[in-house]
Amino acid sequence: MTTSAQCHREGGKEDLCRYQTGSLGAGDRLEADPTLRKAGRTLRAGVIGLGVGEAHVTAYQSHPACEVVALCDRSKDKLSRVRANRLETGSTSSTSSTGPTGSAGSTGSTSSAVELFDNAGDLLNDPNIDVVSIASYDNDHYEQIVQALENDKHVFVEKPLCHREEEARHIRALLTEKPHLRLSSNLILRQCPRFIALKERIARGAFGELFLVEGDYHYGRLHKITEGWRGAIDFYSVIHGGAIHMVDLLLWLTGERITRVSAFGNQIASRGSQFRYNDTVVSALTFESGLVGKVGVSFGCVRPHFHGLSIYGTRATFVNAVPDGLLYESCDKQVLPTPMTEPYPGVHKGGLIGSFIDSILQGCDPIVDEDDVFSAMSVCLAIEKAVATGQSCSVSYL
């Protein structure tokens, strides 16, 4: 089993937990959950949303100290397929709009019953669940997070955390009241091998002083908002649902806070469809050191899904590309850039869950901690405000 000194991993390196070194994150809240430190105690996980949530299931099942005990999806057809798949592997299962009607046999790495729910509230009220993954529709995240925390469950949530500042402040307050609980979000680009290598180069001074950073979330899947659930729900933000990945990546790479933003958006690509909000947004950023940056997001771009990233320093420039990233260390056109061949994206959608589980069991800091989640959310909320008002906005950190 993973040791406490292995909880925080970046680029294959094993760092001591921050609680061991005295540099605590998440408002000095770090402590292991005392109810889970007993010998032989296995973390029991539930997953809400069986789209990307299926990757969460795989990640929980692969951890030696965790078992999946409950799954939930609002689609009864999807639950029926899950039930059928489990029956084929010798398992049984059940589902009800008010909760389980029976127990399911173990499957995969799980060692106890797996219950199937079509109502998230019933799963969240189940006292047998210790940690929940929330991979439901974005507009459901806030209420489900609140219910999970009120029921003393640790939370791993797909981005975004929520949609509004008052919601984020409420979640933050609940976590302050319950310091034994952990919360993290799937800001997965921190696990990309190429970006880890880039961060290491920045940290050792290979770029000199950074003066400009740019991140673009090229989604290239317009149908996801013009035809799918994103366009059908009351509100969907391409900033919260897409650009947040690039915001977090820039905060992580630079180690600096963004202090001010301005932003503009349009809905030209989705005009005439069911989608009623901006499908494209561009934001200018000011960092605390004077570093400036840009974050862009486009769901309607005609290109494959890609994370555009450019880092400009006084000694070097990085430009993300495929198949390799490009590292420029000269302005001479005759000097070719050095290829950065580390895998991109090279990450599994459940790749942060192992670190999150370790943080619960051992009291160390996960790769994406609570402060990281709220910092990225704070910037995105400011960008939303700047788009809505047409004015430059300061970032109010939650």
- Taking each helix axis as running N to C, give the angle between helix 53-62 and helix 353-362, from 0 to 180 degrees, rounded to the nearest 10: 50
CATH number (domain holding residue 178)? 3.40.50.720
Q: Which of 154, 186, 218 is a domain's end point?
A: 186
Whether residues 45 and 134 share a domain: the answer is yes
Region 276-301 average pLDDT: 98
pLDDT of residue 36: 57
Is residue 225 located within the same domain as residue 312?
Answer: yes
pLDDT tens for each residue of 76-128: 888 888 877 765 554 434 444 434 433 333 333 434 578 999 999 999 999 99
Integer angstrom CA distances of residue 89 from 62, 82, 96: 18, 11, 22
- Residue 332: which CATH number? 3.30.360.10
Least reliable range by pLDDT among 31-45, 197-211, 257-271: 31-45
Domain that holds residue 172: 22-186
Q: Is the pLDDT of residue 22 over 80?
A: no
* In the chain, % of residues over pLDDT 90: 79
Q: Read off the pLDDT band of 289 (50, 70, 90).
A: very high
Residue 292 binned pLDDT confidence (cut-offs 50, 70, 90): very high
Residue 84 has what pLDDT?
Answer: 73
pLDDT of residue 34: 58
299 and 329 in a single domain? The answer is yes
Same domain (yes/no): 181, 199: no
Q: Is residue 390 part of a domain?
A: yes
347-371 mean pLDDT: 95
Same domain, 207 and 335: yes
- As for how many domains the chain has, the answer is 2
* Mean of all residue pLDDT scores within the chain: 87
If asked whether residues 250 and 293 sit together in one domain, one would say yes
388 Cβ contact list (under 8 Å, min separation 6) = none
DSSP letter at 190?
G
Question: By the 8 A CB rule, do 184 and 368 touch?
Answer: yes
Which of 10-19, 143-152, 264-273 is the least confident region?
Answer: 10-19
- Give yes or no: residues 49 and 179 share one domain: yes
Kindly state whether residue 359 falls inside one of the protein's structural domains: no
